[in-house]
Amino acid sequence: MKGKLFYLGLIVMFVLSAVGHFAHWDMTVQFILSAIAVIFVAGFLGKATESVAHYAGDRVGGFLNATFGNAAELIIAFFLIKEGLFETVKASITGSIIGNLLLVLGLSLFSGGLKFKEQSFNARLGEHNSTLMIMAVIALFVPAVFVGAEHFTVKKDQTLSLIVAGILIVSYLLWLVFSMITHKDMLADKEMKPDHEEEPLWSKGKSVLFLVVATVMVAFVSEWLVHTLDTFTHKFGLSELFVGAFVVAIVGNAAEHSAAVLLALKNKIGGAVEIAIGSSLQIALFVAPVLIFVSAFMGNTMDIVFTPIELTALGVSVFIASSVSRDGRTNWYEGFLLLMVYLILGVAFFLV
Amino acid sequence: MKGKLFYLGLIVMFVLSAVGHFAHWDMTVQFILSAIAVIFVAGFLGKATESVAHYAGDRVGGFLNATFGNAAELIIAFFLIKEGLFETVKASITGSIIGNLLLVLGLSLFSGGLKFKEQSFNARLGEHNSTLMIMAVIALFVPAVFVGAEHFTVKKDQTLSLIVAGILIVSYLLWLVFSMITHKDMLADKEMKPDHEEEPLWSKGKSVLFLVVATVMVAFVSEWLVHTLDTFTHKFGLSELFVGAFVVAIVGNAAEHSAAVLLALKNKIGGAVEIAIGSSLQIALFVAPVLIFVSAFMGNTMDIVFTPIELTALGVSVFIASSVSRDGRTNWYEGFLLLMVYLILGVAFFLV
Amino acid sequence: MKGKLFYLGLIVMFVLSAVGHFAHWDMTVQFILSAIAVIFVAGFLGKATESVAHYAGDRVGGFLNATFGNAAELIIAFFLIKEGLFETVKASITGSIIGNLLLVLGLSLFSGGLKFKEQSFNARLGEHNSTLMIMAVIALFVPAVFVGAEHFTVKKDQTLSLIVAGILIVSYLLWLVFSMITHKDMLADKEMKPDHEEEPLWSKGKSVLFLVVATVMVAFVSEWLVHTLDTFTHKFGLSELFVGAFVVAIVGNAAEHSAAVLLALKNKIGGAVEIAIGSSLQIALFVAPVLIFVSAFMGNTMDIVFTPIELTALGVSVFIASSVSRDGRTNWYEGFLLLMVYLILGVAFFLV
């Protein structure tokens, strides 16, 4: 029944936001409709991915999660790049990463910690996650410092951005090899396989079909949402940065949010950490670099240089998330601190 | 007898600095007298707090320590804020934090390490302390970057400062709940309860009375000391920053210094770490934010934006203190390194 | 036979680069000849040091390694300082440190990790190495921030540089005392004594003689190499920074590179870490400060202020190397990540 309501909501919201878009309804109404629709289609995409993963096995399933999990963000960003809104893309990448590291992880540890005194997961995974987060910060920080300090030409800036993007993509693909093939057992953890306890929702064929359908729906709804942002931003006097980094990011990660908190409440904190940190690593090491290449193929290369305040937000998020999760032991207070850092950043971005 | 000499010194120095102040003695003489008097009254306040803690039990005792332990600093800062000397307040907050993290902790680990090959304390506490230190640095670093990069108006600057201050106070209060109520046992450590082995000095009634008396004395002597600082600074050609960050901070933390070193020499390194890091956390997460609110109530809101060199000093102190203490194992060389970082910062501040 | 070929190469390359230098051959040819000769003489110096260490025992051996191991770098830098090329000296110090932390350590962990699933060494050593790396970064970072933010006079800049240099030298000497005398056993690890398994190459007398001969040869070849750098840099349009930080650094560390990788392949990862991180610590805490004093004795004090991009390179290298090695467990993917960070920095420096 809960399922039926979900699909009803999915279809209603999708149709409503489509009608709103094509009938040129009031922009605020359009924004609200498509923002809600994004939550439903992201959830649908999540279910479809999980179901496919059930049939394809852990390794391929993990890879599919890695490929489809952040589809909403990738597709939203694609349309923003087409419109040349590079700054909004970077703001939303920033928002997505810090949203996962602080809000999703924070809510999970906090709610899980209220129920269980201490929750733990594989400490080796905690250490590798920390190192990868540091890698991501380095890859974003180095170009910003060099381009800023040495007044690089646009050409040099783009060359550096493409090379760094290539390095990140290779690093991410090898991380999949390392964590899912060569050292899978070392990073394993009972709590990390929550996907396969329940019966799959659909047959193999249906799962693949729904995965395709969901991806297409995400693509449409995301484009409608992006179209409303400009007006919306002006209407409420919000900075583009705040909308990109907080509003879009919270909406785009809705599926991760609920899944991670539910796992934490089942004492499967390893799974929650995997979703929260894993998703942010995927955006930093895979989605963002892919967008650089996409922009290059479209003839106007987006560079990898983030603004000082974006780098600050990313850097502090990585620091505190790494300090909290490195040891593989978590509690409610650590989750609370992550939420407080998110709040500080949110207020600071709002005031810009 | 040692006790009697202390009380004689306390009364003599208090009276001398009072006479010096009201009779307008030479400013250098006034400074020296009140600086020595501060050491005595801080010591008296420390004894009174401990004695009250004995009767009130561990939890309330910890809270009282948290409330009265940094009373001297809070009161000194209060008078500085009344005179609008915001820069001196921030310099002394900076000095207090780095003095605790580098000088107090460094001396404790060094002297304890010369006597014992390796000393250890609860590693979970080491990890939480590190995370809280990082939280404090983030809360000071984020406003500085945003206000600097985005040219915030004074109004926005103050709004951000008040919100961040509120978040820090809530975080600190919940840290007390976490570390003293919900997860007290997990962070416990035999060496961490040094206060209750000896007989209390005074009866319950006397303890409370002396606590009040000591706090009043600290308030007076601190104000007299602050009055002399300006002249003193000019006379010796010292920068306001150096005086605030090193002279005032060393004087104001005299009580912590001796207590922490004594605990380390008794192989109670957990207690020494608690005093040194705990005190610096209290200043960063509670005293500094309270001062922001105090200034707001007095009609002239002090912002939370520290200078680049203060942030550098705070950042490097937190990094090295976190690296040294996170694992819960210490030795003389780690203490020595902390002292060397303090020396580097001291020389750099002196040369400004 | 392998040995005989080495000595033949040593003598031939030394003579060739001498002839090239004194007969004023083409500068590119001179550069190539002396660069190859440096590899041979550095290798010779390494063998001589090891052999002396065999007779002198572990402690003195360690000290000799500490004194002679980085002789090539020290001597190259000495001639650069004589010519007033302070920026090139700092670039080569930067390059040497990041080369050891990223390239040498990265290659070792990567190649060792391909052969062994997980390699481990003493975690206490990992922690102390991390703390010392942070100490080094602090000592270079603090002067840069203070000199930059406060517009220090040249006099103050030099005073601060000399004091910081003195503090670093004392810290390094006490680290030798700590790690080789007072806490030698605590930091020990079976894999850390690879030098003494094989028979020494030479008798005691010959070892000392060869050590002196090798040091003299390194001195000559290094000077010849330095003389060619200017022309070479212009010819290929490479920035002085790139040459100093990557070309010179890779050449100057050739001996460490091969030794560390060989140890890693023998599953003696502790030895490889000791060479890679130990060598970079020696440069940061001993070689660089000694060069400051050398320049002062020569009448023109080099300051300790590095450029923002050098500090960035040093900071990120320390962060990732610390995150990878702190826990005393390594694998191929961690080595790969270090190599990728080296690549990012190399590209960025090349584009400057």
pLDDT in tens, chain A (352 residues): 467 889 999 999 999 999 999 999 988 899 889 889 988 888 887 787 777 767 765 545 555 655 666 776 787 788 889 888 898 889 888 988 998 899 989 999 999 999 999 998 888 888 999 999 999 999 999 999 998 887 788 888 999 999 999 999 999 999 989 988 888 888 876 544 444 556 777 888 888 888 888 878 887 887 788 778 777 677 777 777 787 778 777 766 666 676 678 778 888 788 788 778 888 899 999 999 999 999 999 988 899 999 999 999 999 999 999 999 998 999 999 999 999 999 999 999 988 8
For B205, how many CA atoms within 13 A lie in the half-sphere containing its CB?
Answer: 0
pLDDT in tens, A314-351: 999 999 999 999 989 999 999 999 999 999 999 999 88
Interatomic CA distance for residues C307 and C184, integer angstroms: 37
Are A127 and C327 an interchain contact pair (Cβ–Cβ within 8 Å)? yes
- CA angle, residues A36, A39, A44, in degrees to nearest 5: 130
Interface probe with A: pick from C116, C133, C316, C350, most Cβ of A within 10 Å? C316
The Cα angle at residue B223 between residues B222 and B224, in degrees rounded to 5:
90
Q: What does the DSSP assignment read for B82-140?
A: HTT-HHHHHHHHHHHHHIIIIIIHHHHHHHHHHHSS-EE--HHHHHHHHHHHHHHHHHH
The phi, psi pair for A119, rounded to 5°, reads -115, 145
List the chains bordering chain A where 3 or more Cβ pairs fall under 8 Å.
Answer: B, C
Query: Are residues A278 and A200 in contact, defined by beta-carbon separation less than 8 angstroms?
Result: no
Q: How far is CA A348 from CA A141, A305, A308, B159, B164, in A?
A: 20, 21, 13, 10, 9
Q: Note whether C272 and C113 are within 8 A (CB).
A: no
What type of residue sits at position B234?
H
Nearest Cα neighbor of C146 from B327, B239, B298, A231 is B239
> Rounded distance, CA C228 to CA B112, Å?
54
Per DSSP, the residues of C119-147 read: EE--HHHHHHHHHHHHHHHHHHHHHHHHH
Q: Read off the pLDDT of residues C94-135 as tens digits, 9 standing for 90 and up.
A: 988 998 899 989 999 999 999 999 998 888 888 999 999 999
Distance, in angstroms, between B280 CA and closest chain C CA? 20
For chain B, list residues whose CB is within 8 angstroms of any CB belonging to chain C.
117-118, 307-309, 312-313, 316, 319-320, 323-324, 327, 329, 331-334, 336-337, 340-341, 343-345, 347-348, 351-352
In tens digits, chain B (352 residues) has pLDDT values of 467 888 999 999 999 999 999 999 988 899 889 889 988 888 887 777 777 767 765 545 555 655 666 776 787 788 889 888 898 889 888 988 998 899 989 999 999 999 999 998 888 888 999 999 999 999 999 999 998 887 788 888 999 999 999 999 999 999 989 988 888 888 876 544 444 556 677 888 888 888 888 878 887 887 788 778 777 677 777 777 787 778 777 766 666 666 678 778 888 788 788 778 888 899 999 999 999 999 999 988 899 999 999 999 999 999 999 999 998 999 999 999 999 999 999 999 988 8
Min distance A332 CA to chain B CA atoms (Å): 9
The residue type at B80: L
Residue A195 is predicted with a pLDDT of 47
Measure Cα distances from B339 to B259, B277, B344 in Å. Answer: 17, 15, 9
Structure-token pair, residue A193: 């396989």
Cβ distance of C309 and A170 shorter than 8 Å: no
DSSP 8-class letter at C202: S
Distance CA A290, CA A89 (A): 12
The letter for the amino acid at A335 is G
Contact residues of C toward B, CB < 8 A:
124, 127-128, 130-132, 134-135, 138-139, 141-143, 145-146, 149-150, 152, 156, 159-160, 163-164, 167, 170-171, 174-175, 178, 182-183, 186, 322
**Residue pairs spanning A and C at CB distance below 8 A:** 81
Number of CB atoms found within 10 A of residue B79's CB: 17
Question: Which amino acid type is present at position B49?
Answer: T
Handedness of CA B158, B161, B163, B165 (dihedral sign): negative
State how far the Cα of B61 lies from the Cα of C144, in Å rounded to an integer: 44
- The pair of three-digit structure tokens given for residue B123, joined into one six-digit string: 């590693």
Q: Judge whether A119 and A328 are in contact, CB under 8 Å.
A: no
Subunits next to B (3 or more Cβ pairs <8 Å) are A, C
CA within 13 Å, CB half, B22: 7
Closest CA to A340 of A76, A64, A110, A18: A110
| Gap between the Cα atoms of A282 and A253, Å rounded | 13
Amino acid at C314: L
Question: Distances in Å between the alpha carbon of B102 and those of B98, B135, C204, C267?
Answer: 6, 18, 46, 38
**Inter-chain contact A319–B167, Cβ cutoff 8 Å?**
no
- CA C10/CA C45 separation, integer angstroms: 11
Residue in chain C lying closest to B115 (CA): C182
Residue A152: phi and psi, rounded to 5, are: -60, 150
> Which residue in B has a C-alpha nearest to residue C152's C-alpha?
B352
| Range list of β-strands (E), C275-337 | 329-330
> What DSSP assignment string belongs to B170-230?
HHHHHHHHIIIIITTTTT--GGG--TTSSPPSS-HHHHHHHHHHHHHHHHHHHHHHHHHHH
Give the Cβ contact number of residue C237 at 10 Å: 6
Q: Which fold has domain B2-193+203-351?
A: A middle domain of Talin 1 (1.20.1420)
Instruction: Tell me whether 0.90 is exceeded by the ipTM.
Output: no
In angstroms, the CA A79 to CA A27 distance is 18
């995997």: which residue's tokens?
Answer: A274
pLDDT for res C1: 47
Minimum mean pLDDT range among B235-249, C143-157, C271-285? B235-249
pLDDT score of B252: 65
Give the mutation candidate from C337, C343, C349 for the A interface (greatest A CB count, under 10 A).
Answer: C337
Name the residue type at position A312.
T
Cα separation of the two ends of chain A:
45
Q: What is the C-alpha to C-alpha distance for residues C123 and C14, in angstroms, rounded to an integer?
A: 42
Q: Which residue of C132, C138, C151, C152 is the best one to mutate when testing the B interface, meaning the one whose CB has the most B CBs within 10 A?
A: C138
B347: nearest CA partner in chain C:
C160
Q: Residue C156, Cβ neighbours under 10 Å: how many?
A: 18
CA–chain centroid gap for B141, Å, is: 20
SS3 C281: helix
pTM, whole model, 2 decimals?
Answer: 0.87
Give the pair of three-digit tokens for residue B34.
């009140």
| Contact flag A149-C309 (C-beta cutoff 8 Å) | yes
Residue to test with chain A: of B124, B134, B155, B173, most A Cβ within 10 A = B134
Choose among A199, A227, A188: nearest CA to A58.
A188
pLDDT reported for residue B295:
93
Residue of C nearest to A177 (CA): C333
Which region holds residue C328: left if phi is over 0, alpha if psi is between -120 and 50, else beta?
Answer: left
Alpha-carbon distance of B200 to B213, in angstroms, equals 18
* A117 contacts on B by Cβ (under 8 Å): 182-183, 186
Q: How far apart are CA C55 and CA C61, in angstroms?
A: 8
Query: Quick one: how far is CA C49 from the chain centroid?
Result: 15
**A160:C348 CB<8 A:** yes
